Amino acid sequence: MRTQQNAWLHAFITVVVFLLAWWLHLDRNDWALLLLTTGLVWLAEFINTALEALVDLASPGSHPLAKTGKDIGAAAVLIAALCAVLVGLLVLGSPLLARLNALL
């Protein structure tokens, strides 16, 4: 966590999503979707970090294949994060709008 900027962003968003889910009193199925989706993003982030470290170890210099490997790992994290945003909108969207309308 100390050396990975993106992990801090994932951590902040995870806390916000879980607090929002708690505030909205989501049911178990919605919590399960959020937990699985969040877990997949974290898994992708950790695998990408490990991949980058291994590539740096194996190829300390600049190499096109090393760059490709790192770029694909980063793309996997991006895809996981985008899917998580979509799941978050599907799970949190309606309850959040209903709760905000009730408050206003």
Active-site residue list: 45
Confidence label for 18 from pLDDT (cuts 50, 70 and 90)? very high
- Cα(34)–Cα(37) distance, rounded to whole angstroms? 5
Confidence label for 5 from pLDDT (cuts 50, 70 and 90)? confident
Q: For position 1, what pLDDT does the model report?
A: 66
Query: Are the beta carbons of 67 and 99 closer than 8 angstroms?
Result: no
Architecture of domain 5-103: Orthogonal Bundle (1.10)
- Please, what sign has the CA dihedral across residues 19, 24, 25, 27? negative
- pTM for this model (two decimals): 0.87
Q: For position 29, what pLDDT does the model report?
A: 97
Structural domain boundaries of the chain?
5-103
Cβ contacts of 65 within 8 Å, gap of 6 or more: 59
User: Residue 88 above 80 pLDDT?
Assistant: yes
Instruction: Write out pLDDT tens, residues 44-87.
Output: 999 999 999 999 999 888 899 999 999 999 999 999 999 999 99
CA-derived radius of gyration, the chain: 17
